[in-house]
Chain A
């Protein structure tokens, strides 16, 4: 996993609530058996005017000029500003893969769906929860000022605006540690191998049926 420490980047305002993972990356792209290459199909149905299928040359497809990601002023954006319940719906990890592949490293919203929130951290993508008022204020500022950038400092847990305002945010200590150091969860868990084995030995006594395989 890529480390996350400090980031300064252009902010893209996506002014919709309940953006679901079907919208972030439509199902036809889930047929890939790879982890990479989803960026060009991020928000595919909103971003292009035609219907996208895997294997198409995306550079030749007609762009929807009304979709925020296509506006010249937001090109190269790495911070996504969103509304409540971002990432709801299916558990597909292709959603954070697509966001990351496109170039986003952080998402700011008043709330996130649970599974998406988890998946984001596992892919070096930092989801930040701010209050509705703080998010509203950021939307206003971004829209008013072309080239608007935020600086996100994970170590300090702060966001700095171009006007030098500082906004503090919360992050789970364990997740912060993993993100700062780019740590692999599986490696960390396997440090507890003895505890897992001890748990299994105890459970085998208490609840032996859990370890049985099918009778047919």
Chain B
């Protein structure tokens, strides 16, 4: 029978299935960070259990780490305890961890692919909703809660029910200035933040094939913002080339065998999808969110929507609440909105390609006077190193951006990087919820080039008009 990519990945990991479809699913790779794991390790200890296979686990602290000078450790005591707890748990249970002073440290969703610890055909989980990122490799990857982190540590399995299949096909060729980020925001604008609930989404079509692995990661990263359990893209030559030679990637005979298997990881002709959405890449323009949910998104050419034009009273009230929170008037042109801060980073957009795109805009320009802080936070120590080898750090600092150490940073403001109440931010992260980047902070989600362009112009501009 013709199968979808999701069907194949699922079937290959079923250990046991009962009559009502509850399945014991085998997990190949488990990524761990400091925020969602302490209670899981504590649970293991209390039950006298050990990890089933500690070599399947890769850990790194990312949420709480400072992005400024780290030589004196973490000054916030609570953050420090959480990071030290991870260090101790990994040491006690024999788990590989890239600690804060390791050049390989970084956001788990950046370092997994970077190390080749994320491979096509794997099941990848992490106590973090953006685990969907790893689906870019033709893997089945999804976020789990802390009880499930403990469950995977103890049993190498999860109790799951299969989701429905959705195909989102983006035909046409990607216009200049449009990125994976714009594509996924346009999708969320179309289907809403609950549009993918109950589904595993496969992204396909010409535009997706044109995307680099980095672009595909940005896309799959935000599948969770569309409510989907997982997002994924079929394996092609680009995927295989990306993986080759990375530390955890197979070698020699294993490599050939692996590639043979990976080449089967695509949806068969005629396979059944429960839902299909089609968009044309040529219609997609640079996206900017205006509200407090990723579905509250328009294009750079638009104006802030008017709640009065909305007939559904529940929606109208939600829009008005968002505008009040964001301090925006209806009908304001998006290009008239001026951020106070600019954040380039997060597991959505902190990879080398993202930094190159932002640097291309920053080169030879200056951060505008009204911007209080523009910061670039690489996703990992290795991304940082690579960027410095290419001289990107110099471009940024010459333009007035701050060049920081790797971590989650102002994506969720668990460390010192945050917005003050009322401050507005052009951010390359993935969530514009109330208070996400600091209490009272106002977030506009954009691509890296759009964020850099906002920094040097002092307001949002259409990246397609910047050369």
Contact = CB atoms under 8 A, between A and B. Distances in A.
Contacts of B439: 26, 45, 51
A35 B435 CA distance: 23
Contacts of A182: none
A56 interface: no
B36 A33 contact: no
A185 B257 CA distance: 35
A89 B435 contact: no
B238 interface: no
Interface stretch (B76-84, B201-209, B326-334): B76-84
Interface in B17-74: 18, 20, 22, 24, 26, 28, 35-36, 38-39, 42, 47, 49, 52, 55, 63-64
Interface stretch (B172-180, B191-199, B267-275, B367-375): B191-199
Given A23-B434, A84-B194, A199-B26, A212 B254 contact: yes
Contacts of A189: 24, 151, 154-155, 157, 159
Given A22-B431, A91-B36, A195-B24, A31 B79 contact: yes
B4 interface: no
Contacts of A118: 144-145, 148
Contacts of B193: 18, 85, 88
B80 to A, nearest CB: 10
Contacts of B85: 33
Interface string B101-129: 00000000000000101010110000111
Contact of B81 (A33, A92, A215): A33
A200 B26 CA distance: 9
Contacts of A63: none
Contact of A215 (B63, B119, B248): B248
Contacts of A153: none
B435 A17 contact: no
B191 to A, nearest CB: 12
Interface string B249-293: 111001101100100000000000000000000000000000001
Interface in A171-211: 172-174, 185-186, 188-190, 192, 195-196, 199-200, 203, 206-211
Interface residues of B, number: 75
Interface stretch (A107-115, A141-149, A160-168): A107-115
A35 B150 CA distance: 13
B95 to A, nearest CB: 11
B445 to A, nearest CB: 14
Interface in A90-104: 90-93, 96
B433 interface: yes
A93 B161 contact: no
A20 B433 contact: yes
Contacts of B251: 215
Given A84-B194, A91-B128, A34 B433 contact: no
A111 B197 contact: yes
A33 B22 CA distance: 31
A215 B155 contact: no
Interface string A73-93: 000000000011100111111
A137 interface: no
Nearest to A119: B145
Contacts of B257: 207-209
Given A31-B64, A34-B39, A88-B227, A209 B258 contact: yes
Contact of A93 (B16, B26, B147, B413): B147
Contacts of B249: 209
B77 to A, nearest CB: 9
A207 B262 CA distance: 11
Contact of B194 (A51, A85, A93, A209): A85
Contacts of B414: 27-28, 30-31
Interface in B412-467: 412-414, 431, 433-436, 439
9 contacts: A16-B318, A35-B39, A114-B197, A118-B148, A122-B147, A186-B150, A192-B15, A196-B15, A212-B248
Chain A to chain B: the 7 pairs with minimum beta-carbon distance, closest first: A209-B250, A33-B38, A119-B145, A93-B145, A93-B146, A122-B147, A91-B129
Interface of A: 16-18, 20, 22-23, 26-28, 30-35, 45, 51, 54-55, 83-85, 88-93, 96, 111, 113-115, 118-119, 122-123, 172-174, 185-186, 188-190, 192, 195-196, 199-200, 203, 206-216
